[in-house]
Structure 1
Amino acid sequence: MAYSSAHDTAGKLFGAETKEVTILQRIVHWVRERADLRRAEYELNHMSDAELSDIGLTRGEIHNAVRGSV
């Protein structure tokens, strides 16, 4: 097993596979975030124009509102 030169607080060497787990966790987090954004956009797109107006959105603003650009 390969080791990096980084040490934790207990003085043990971190294994090289530690970065792989971190990358995998980041990928899983990214995929979940995208799924949540798609779900929110889907729900807003299926609201009526009156409902969107009540929350201060137009259909054209949904994509940017979901992603925090508005």
Structure 2
Amino acid sequence: MTMSYSSLQPTSSALFGAETNRNSLVQRIVVWFKERADLYRAEYELNHMSDVELADVGLSRGEIHNAVRHGRIV
């Protein structure tokens, strides 16, 4: 019977999977915070526009939140 030898160290799939999940969880949290910051910034900028400027882009003050969050007026 012939045994093959590999110089690669065996990795525990549980350990590897846990680290991968932890990294992806941290990455998802970072992305979530960045997305929230972008939404707040867009809403802040629209709220600081004049009523005339908002009308030029087709929005009223009451529609800003939904337009930023959903990309449309609901």
The TM-score, its normalising length taken from structure 1, stands at 0.79
Match of 1:51 in 2: 53
Larger Rg: 2
Report the CA distance between 1:3 and its aligned residue.
2.9
5 Å-filtered alignment, 1:1-70, equals 3-4=13-14, 15=16, 16-68=18-70, 69-70=72-73
- SS of aligned partner of 1:19: helix
- SS of aligned partner of 1:37: helix
Q: Which has the higher strand share?
A: 1
Cα distance in 2, alignment partners of residues 35 and 2 from structure 1: 38
Cα distance in 1, alignment partners of residues 42 and 56 from structure 2: 17
List runs of 5+ in structure 2 lacking aligned partners: 1-10
Segments of 4+ moved more than 2 angstroms: 1-4
Pairs aligned (count)? 61
Q: Which has the higher helix share?
A: 2
Report the CA distance between 1:2 and its aligned residue.
5.4
Cα distance in 2, alignment partners of residues 17 and 2 from structure 1: 11
RMSD: 1.8
Cα distance in 1, alignment partners of residues 51 and 38 from structure 2: 22
